[in-house]
Amino acid sequence: MSRPQTLPVAVSADRLRTDRDQVVLVDSRWYLDGRSGREAHLAGHIPGAVFADVDTDLAAPGSAEGGRHPLPSPEDLAASLGRLGIGDDSAVVVYDDAGGSVAARLVWMLRVLGTPAAFLDGGIQAWDGPLETGEVAPEPAGRTPVPWPSDRVAGTEGVRARTGSPEHLLLDARVYGRFTGEEPAPVDARPGHVPGARSAAWQGNLDGDGFLASPERLRERFFTLGADTAETVTAYCGSGVTACHDLLALEHAGVAGARLYPGSWSRWGGDESLPAETGDPHRG
């Protein structure tokens, strides 16, 4: 059977069962607290799922200039995807155990490069079938390097030039306490956010049951933040991972062309020459 030619940003477990033989299934679990996603994969994964490591497969080495999870070069990404069995003609479903907030990284990367990709709505928790343990050996596939679309990726200087401009909406996908600086994570170099950014914590993209909210609800959410009138919409987070959840939610809501700032707060906050803002001037 041929691959799906298109996929929504998220698919149900029932849809995955239907399309299972037509897609590459990827486990991308990763944890900010240092737990091992690979160990979680080995302990139990959806049958046939290959494991993609956020740190090594889906990012270049971290640096002061690039942040913790810079986008890999087209050549390095193509090599990683090929090793995982994701070829030029593949369709891909990715899952995690965190509401799609980690899976979104690979899904967004693939979608902007023209590969049909979706995350499993509800994550591994939505899968009620048996799990398997141990390693899964992918069948290598041919993957052609494709440059990152320049209109979908924002650099630090571009973000800096537009700070505070309502025409250029900047969304912060981190939890609210990290945005305001009241509850920074240990990985944050300093508290706060990029001046002028609006808080759009990725968790707000989910409904009460942990599934992706409806397009109507997401449209209301992002339009309230200004996405309906902005010339550009850019999302960032701690290191360019969970921001991709906002980008997929924006697409689900019908907002096209939003951009990722890959360096995110790990790049911006780590540079003392760049301004930081604490609190939330839009609330209260």
> By C-alpha distance, which of 273, 242, 271, 262 is closest to 64?
271
Other C-beta atoms closer than 10 Å to the C-beta of 140 total: 14
Residue 208's CB is within 10 A of a number of other CB atoms, namely: 6
Give me the numbers of helices (H) and strands (E) for the chain, helices first please. 9, 9
Are 93 and 16 in contact, with CB atoms under 8 Å apart? yes
- 57, two tokens: 């497969």
Active site residue 237: yes
Q: Which of 237, 241, 243, 249 is catalytic?
A: 237
In order, the DSSP letters of 91-148 are -EEEE-SSTTTTHHHHHHHHHHTT--EEEETTGGGG--S--B-S------------PP
**How many angstroms separate the CA atoms of 83 and 95, rounded?**
18
Contacts of 208 (CB under 8 A, 6+ apart): none
User: What is the distance between the alpha carbons of residues 84 and 176, in angstroms, rounded to a whole number?
Assistant: 35
Catalytic residues: 237
